[in-house]
Amino acid sequence: MPKKPTNNPPRNIPTGVSWYLREDYEKLKQILKDGADLPANYDDWQSNADKRIAELAKVGVRVVKINIDPEAFSAWCKANNKELDSPARAAFAAYSIGKRYENN
């Protein structure tokens, strides 16, 4: 009997997770379309992000933090006709992982 497809990535391929640096957080909140939805301060955001990463690790997902640099992300969104929002951050993280591991 064939295996049922799952929504989980293979465990040997890392999953990119958007990561913000403390010094970029306020700038990102200003430029992101959904920036008002982010926690008010960096420490709260980091605590939430660390919890999500730990949950993924518990089920065997290998996570790689992908820095969302305000200027680089804005340029990538413009070049790829994307809004500066959560779906674009996920796409940017996936793109970055693909670029990082395409020759492996």
Mean pLDDT over each residue of the chain, to the nearest integer = 90
Tens-digit pLDDT profile for residues 45-64? 999 999 999 999 999 999 99
pLDDT at residue 4 tops 70: no
- Provide DSSP, 28-94: HHHHSTTGGGS-SSHHHHHHHHHHHHHHHHHTT--EEEEE--HHHHHHHHHHTT--SSHHHHHHHHH
| One-letter identity of residue 86 | S
pLDDT at residue 100 tops 90: no
Whole-model pTM: value is 0.81
Tens-digit pLDDT profile for residues 24-45? 999 999 999 999 999 999 999 9
List of residues 6+ apart from 5 with CB closer than 8 A: none
Identify whether the C-beta of residue 83 lies closer than 8 Å to the C-beta of residue 77.
yes
SS3 104: coil
What's the confidence (pLDDT) of residue 88? 97
Query: What are φ and ψ of residue 59, in 5° steps?
Result: -100, 15
Identify the band that residue 5 occupies on the pLDDT scale cut at 50, 70 and 90: low
